[in-house]
Chains A and B, each alone.
Chain A
Amino acid sequence: MNRFLDVWRHSVLGRHLLTALIGLAVVVVVLESVGDFRALQLAAMAYLGIAAGGLTVLTGINGQISLGHGALMAFGAYTTALLLDDPTSSMPISLVVLASTAVALLVGTAVGVAAARLHGPYLAGATLALAIAVPGIALYFGSFLGGEQGLRVSLPDVPVWALDLEYLLTGTEMSRSQYVAYLGWITLIVTFVLLANLARGRVGRRWRAVRDDEVSAELAGIQLGRARISAFMVSAAAAGAAGSVLAITARLAAPSGFTIVLSLTLLTAVVLGGLGYLSGALIGAGLLTFLPPFVTRIGGDAGLSDIRAAELAPLVYGLVMVLVILLAPAGLVGTTRMSLAGRRARRQMAAAGAAGATTGSPGTTAPHDSSDEHDPGTPQASGSTTPKGSTR
């Protein structure tokens, strides 16, 4: 147990891998106890989660907005569909996901180079154009990409080792839906470990610096363009992996699946959960996957007609969004974390104050601090220390 705590405290990689293992255990338990329908829903949550995780790195950590991540998912999905068009194809599924990731990474690099020069609404506009234009590509090259109908994805058979493992563990056969869900969640776990590593390391620190203050970041030796492009590439790669899982889950890659609505859904997931938190992206993806059917069922149980019940979902969804923005403006995870951190800081300050009172003030060179009562995150408003001349 002590060794465990040691790894947790001192090694970033160790912490992330342990979290991943716990996550994997939860995934196994859940997927073994649900039916095919739920398994496919969970697979959908996985691909939304992967894409939202990539987007939260871009938007939350690097401060760039993208309305075009649905389009980047389309590149991943179509790559998967093209690689899996033959049911007898022997390409391992992991390679298919990797290839889809690589294609989206390439496209994302090109978009990122352009995006690095744009800010705020201009960047939103440019990525919006991507979201609108990309489904058109599939229609234009209809003979190759299947046009409006899209491309069917023929999922290869579940590998024998997976069947064996499943039989060994539970004594049951692994259904295709279960297989797809495992694929999605393992992809999610791998992606999240890599994203979390980046976020905690030097790369993530540089991304945050660029987000918070460009001039200071440059003065610290950070090249703004490079930092922005690398963030865009990483999140595009995640979108590609997500698109691949989507194609495998839906067994289809069609233009109607990658409209602007998908891009906006991803952004909603990220905002609901809390910008910049991977766990928030996952919670957001879960809400978006399970809330609408849940609300529809409740509506049906309450005696509403099917149409009425279906109309209830967007209403509740909108209400949840409004409530989160009003009550938890930093998102569900973000606001929780901030209030915990604020409480901890207050407790520490109170403890330090008590200690200071008994031992006397240490030294005269400490700056004059009157900030005990300030929470992190609240603008400082101390009367005697009002900033002057904060123009640059």
Chain B
Amino acid sequence: MSSTPSAEGGPVPALELSDVTVRFGGITALSEVGLAVRPGSVHGVIGPNGAGKTTLFNVACGFVTPDTGRIVREGTVLDKLAPHQLAGLSMARTLQGLGLFDRITVLDNVVVGADRHARSGFLGSLLALPRAGREEKALRERARAVLAELHIEQYADRYPTSLPYPVRKRVALARALAAEPTLLLLDEPASGLSSAEMDELGDLVTSLGSRMSVMLVEHHMDLVMRVCDEITVLDFGKVIAHGTPDEVRNDPAVLAAYLGDEVTH
């Protein structure tokens, strides 16, 4: 069942994982998993609890080094991937726990996301050179634009801890978008949101698909089925199905994996 989707002469995938195996001690978290995120598509990864979705995500962004397997980003093989290299590869990721910088303002949080576009070095900051100043201004404008796009510009000068959870969630997304990635990894973007907020999120993710490739891990089946172009289903660390939402929905293996499993919404 461990199929590696081949490129079959199509466009180069935004991200391709092949034969990825991860063991934690005696437990095999992922076993020969493969998937390819087509450029400009929204690729969902679903599966019951403990299926290895988050581990797969962590492999994709360098938090976990797989025991075997290859990670290929736009045709380039990434041997050793460290998290800080992600931004340079035009990849951005949101975290389940948000990981906002709590003691700087919302605007500064988003500016940190845009930081990869900055060039100025230590001397630029030390002497507050005009060039560094102009660059800072440009970063802040970019960050404000992203805040406006997500309709949270009114919170720019607030601190994250003073904001309600859905707003903080948007701040985390804004920080990732400010990097202007070509591949965006979303880790459970809908958790903790009301159904109205989830609808908005769905529209947003769909619209992002025209600007970048998106890979997302999500529990909420409604959302996944609505926004994803392709879905990979994991169970016990293995790929059990792969295809369009309709194909996956009717796949007997998927139904079996989810049968009895509590699926909210």
Q: Which residues of A line the B interface, CB within 8 A?
A: 11-13, 16, 194, 197-198, 200-206, 208-209, 211-213, 215-224, 230, 345, 352, 363, 365-371, 374-380, 382, 385-392
Contacts and interface: CB of A to CB of B under 8 A. Distances in A.
Interface stretch (B24-32, B39-47, B85-93): B85-93
Contact of B166 (A213, A219, A367, A377): A367
Interface in B108-136: 108, 111-113, 115-116, 118, 120, 122, 124-130, 132-133, 135-136
A202 B132 contact: yes
6 contacts: A216-B112, A218-B86, A220-B112, A345-B162, A376-B159, A392-B96
A220 B108 CA distance: 12
A271 B130 CA distance: 33
Contact of A390 (B88, B98, B158, B194): B98
A325 B40 CA distance: 54
A202 B118 contact: yes
Contacts of B128: 11-13, 16, 197, 200-201
Interface stretch (B2-10, B99-107, B236-244): B99-107
A219 B86 contact: yes
Given A13-B128, A215-B95, A385 B165 contact: yes
Interface of B: 61, 82-88, 92-93, 95-104, 108, 111-113, 115-116, 118, 120, 122, 124-130, 132-133, 135-136, 151-152, 154, 157-159, 161-168, 170, 175, 179, 188, 191-192, 194, 197, 200
B133 A377 contact: no
B104 A208 contact: yes
A13 B158 contact: no
A380 B166 contact: no
Contacts of A379: 161
B93, B128, B179 interface centre (most CB from chain A within 10 Å): B128
Given A13-B133, A345-B158, A206 B112 contact: yes
Closest 7 CB pairs of A and B: A221-B87, A201-B125, A392-B97, A13-B128, A212-B101, A385-B164, A216-B99
A385 B116 CA distance: 32
B104 A209 contact: yes
A367 to B, nearest CB: 5
Contacts of A218: 82-84, 86
Nearest to B152: A367
A388 B190 CA distance: 11
Nearest to A194: B126
Contact of B126 (A198, A217, A367): A198
Contacts of B96: 389-392
Contacts of B120: 201-202
Given A215-B83, A374-B162, A376-B161, 5 more contacts: A212-B102, A219-B84, A366-B154, A380-B162, A391-B96
A11, A12, A386 interface centre (most CB from chain B within 10 Å): A12
A194 B129 CA distance: 12
Contacts of B125: 197-198, 200-204
Contacts of B84: 218-219, 221-224
B83 A369 contact: no
Contact of A230 (B122, B152, B166): B122
Contact of B151 (A367, A388, A391): A367
B164 A370 contact: yes
B99 A385 contact: no
Contacts of B115: 202, 205-206, 220-222
B132 A217 contact: no
A377 B151 contact: no
Contacts of B168: 387
A220 B104 contact: no
B192 A380 contact: no
A213 B101 contact: yes
A203, A205, A211, A217 interface centre (most CB from chain B within 10 Å): A205
A387 B100 CA distance: 13
Contact of B111 (A205, A219, A374, A390): A205
B97 A380 contact: no
A209 B87 CA distance: 15
Given A206-B115, A391-B96, A371 B162 contact: yes
B192 A389 contact: yes
A366 B99 contact: no
A216 B164 contact: no
A204 B103 CA distance: 13
B140 to A, nearest CB: 11
B131 to A, nearest CB: 11
A208 B108 contact: yes
Contacts of B124: 201-202
A209 B116 CA distance: 13
Contacts of A213: 99-102
Nearest to B101: A212
A212 B165 CA distance: 18
